[in-house]
């Protein structure tokens, strides 16, 4: 589990840095300027992702353990017993559990992740005594716009993820989709 968590964290961090690089390239293109990468926001996004990915991996594992998408397979019959069903038959998807995971992920997790992101970026982008005030202002001013924009993307991804992506690949898959989301957040963090 630890090596898998480490691997997912490194992959997500690389993808987060990539999204910020792409956001900087997009900003330069829109302003008709030559691209000069600023390493500071790249490092800020990478550092945030480095801190944020392990708890999100554990959250996804918790959701799957608590509300499994597919019930555990029945035990395989002993060699002396005749099997009633083939051992390779896939288990049905438990739509009620998918709905529960979706509800928890799109309320609790989305809100916590949004607050943490905004507070982190607000704090790290300010200096001295103004850092806490800036973090608080970022959360107050940008929480609902980000949440509402997020609801245009993340619920659909979450349904697909919960139904067809293995739990150990969900954060990485989310990070891949998150490259586009990260571009949006990078451009928003510039504003």
Out of 6-20, 80-94, 111-125, 163-177, pick the least confident: 80-94
| Whole-number Å distance between alpha carbons of 100 and 13 | 28
Whole-prediction pTM value? 0.85
Closest among 164, 151, 168 to 98, alpha carbons compared: 164
Of 127 and 47, the structure prediction assigns the larger pLDDT to: 47
Domain ranges of the chain: 2-72+90-190
Reference 170, options 181, 184, 157, 151; nearest CA is: 157
Mean pLDDT score across all residues of the chain: 90
Query: Residue 69: what pLDDT?
Result: 95
pLDDT band at 191 (very low <50, low <70, confident <90, very high): low
pLDDT in tens, 131-172: 999 999 999 999 999 999 999 899 999 999 999 999 989 988
Which residue stretches of the chain are H helix?
Answer: 2-30, 39-66, 95-104, 110-124, 130-150, 154-164, 167-190
Q: Are 136 and 122 in contact (CB under 8 A)?
A: yes
Report the pLDDT averaged over residues 101-120. 97
Q: 165: helix, coil or strand?
A: coil
Residues 173-190 have pLDDT tens digits of: 998 898 888 788 777 766
CA end-to-end distance (rounded Å), the chain:
38
Q: Taking Cα atoms as reference points, which of 17, 24, 52, 53 lies closest to residue 38?
A: 24
């Amino acid at each position: 589990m630890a090596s898998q968590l480490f691997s997912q964290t490194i992959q997500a961090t690389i993808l987060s840095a990539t999204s910020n690089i792409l956001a900087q390239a997009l900003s330069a293109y829109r302003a008709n300027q030559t691209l000069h990468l600023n390493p500071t926001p790249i490092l800020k996004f990478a550092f945030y992702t480095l801190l944020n990915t392990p708890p999100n991996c554990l959250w996804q594992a918790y959701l799957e353990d608590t509300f499994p998408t597919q019930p555990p397979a029945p035990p395989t019959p002993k060699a002396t017993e005749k099997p009633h069903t083939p051992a390779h038959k896939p288990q049905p998807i438990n739509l009620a559990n998918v709905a529960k995971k979706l509800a928890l992920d799109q309320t609790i997790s989305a809100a916590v992740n949004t607050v943490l992101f905004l507070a982190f970026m607000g704090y790290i982008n300010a200096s001295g005594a103004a850092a806490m005030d800036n973090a608080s202002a970022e959360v107050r001013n940008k929480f609902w716009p980000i949440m509402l924009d997020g609801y245009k993307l993340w619920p659909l991804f979450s349904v697909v993820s919960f139904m067809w992506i293995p739990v150990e690949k969900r954060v990485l898959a989310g990070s891949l989709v998150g490259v586009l989301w990260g571009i949006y957040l990078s451009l928003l963090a510039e504003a």
